[in-house]
Amino acid sequence: MGGGSASAPQAARALVERLDAPTLTTINARGVLGHHHPLDLGCTATFAPIRELARDADVILALGTELGETDYDQVFDGGFGFTGKLIRVDIDSQQLARNHFASLAMVADVSLTLDALAECTTPAHRQGADICHGLRQRLDLEQQPDLAPYVSLFETLDASVPEAIIVGDSTGPVYAGNFLARRSEPRRWFNAATGFGTLGYGLPAALGASIARPDLPVVAIVGDGGLQFVLGELATARDLNHPIAIVVWNNDGYDEIRRYMTHDKVEHLGVDLKAPDFRSLSEAFHCRYAAVSAPDALGDALEMLQHAHSPLLIEVDALRWMNGAA
């Protein structure tokens, strides 16, 4: 299931359950099957157990997805593939010829296709939930070193702002969230880490989400480096007067790039930054401010969203947070 299925979550759930089929939901399809659906494997096609599942499948039904590498091959080794038949459905005919060749390619609206397939499909019993449970145990995402420090972050967001739209910049928590985050509805999770990796995307995109859905709280997750590309947008956030939380993951630099440099024994260049005084910036732009370094404090800070509509900047001390998770 790709982003093309986001407009028909009920039909998507109906078809998945009728097929009793293990289902991958891409980053743009997050929440299509709900919060913790037993057949939803999330966006995990990069990992070996899921690649084995895909290779062993007799048929793959790909609905509204580009089958692109930022969803299916995030390690960029070309290792995601299959030997069975591939049925692709997409409203864009050009997409059907990209990335993976289809045995059957259908140009169609995915919403209409989901309804039609759900009506004509005989319910099957394939132990899909048991298969998915076993795969989740093998994946054990919460214990993976690159993901474990962020588990409590997304648990806190789930508990504190379950209905929020979460918008991400290019920053460590967002990369982890593409595997860990769960949303109850579609179009509640999107970010810049699915293609161009544009620093500074998160806050203006969150403002757009808030304009589109003023009835929902919006949380932007940004890094201290990424936010400095768009500091002026704090004024826009103030002028909108919507319930927007700007969670700043402050690790004093461009840590994703810095870690690659360290791994490859490259001298650090342009990645060790001194973050500005975010408390003073918040005051200058008439935004509320909170400093946190642990999940409980973040939960308390997010409670402030319910009491006023002015923007709230929450600065997370990343080093202390990570040390607490270790």
Strand partners, 245: 219, 312
CA distance readout (Å), 141 to 144, 148, 149, 173: 5, 7, 11, 14
Same fold flag, 3-137 and 142-325:
yes
Instruction: 97-105: list long-range contacts, CB under 8 Å, 24+ apart.
Output: 98/66, 98/67, 98/68, 99/66, 99/67, 99/68, 99/69, 100/62, 100/67, 102/62
Fold observed for domain 3-137: Rossmann fold (3.40.50)
Asked if 74 contacts 100 with a C-beta cutoff of 8 angstroms, the reply is: no
Residue 70 is predicted with a pLDDT of 86
CA distance 232 to 171: 19
Residue 326 is predicted with a pLDDT of 55
| pLDDT tens sequence for the chain (326 residues) | 999 999 999 999 999 999 999 999 999 999 999 989 999 999 999 999 999 999 999 999 999 999 998 888 877 788 898 899 999 999 999 999 899 999 999 999 999 999 999 889 999 999 999 999 999 999 999 999 999 999 999 999 999 999 999 999 999 999 999 999 999 999 999 998 776 678 999 999 999 999 999 999 999 999 999 999 999 999 999 999 888 999 999 998 888 888 888 988 999 988 888 889 999 999 999 999 999 999 999 999 999 887 777 899 999 999 999 988 65
Residue 196 is predicted with a pLDDT of 66
Residue 42 is predicted with a pLDDT of 96
Residue 29 is predicted with a pLDDT of 96
Q: Note the CATH architecture for domain 142-325.
A: 3-Layer(aba) Sandwich (3.40)
How many residues are given for the chain? Answer: 326
The domains of the chain are located at 3-137, 142-325
CA distance 107 to 316: 46
Q: Are strands 218-223 and 165-168 parallel, antiparallel or unpaired?
A: parallel
CA distance readout (Å), 32 to 27, 175, 212, 261: 10, 20, 19, 37
Asked if 285 contacts 260 with a C-beta cutoff of 8 angstroms, the reply is: no
What pTM was estimated for this model as a whole?
A: 0.92
Residue 137 is predicted with a pLDDT of 97
55 membership: H or E segment, kind and range: helix 48-56
Strand partners, 46: none
CA distance 187 to 195: 17
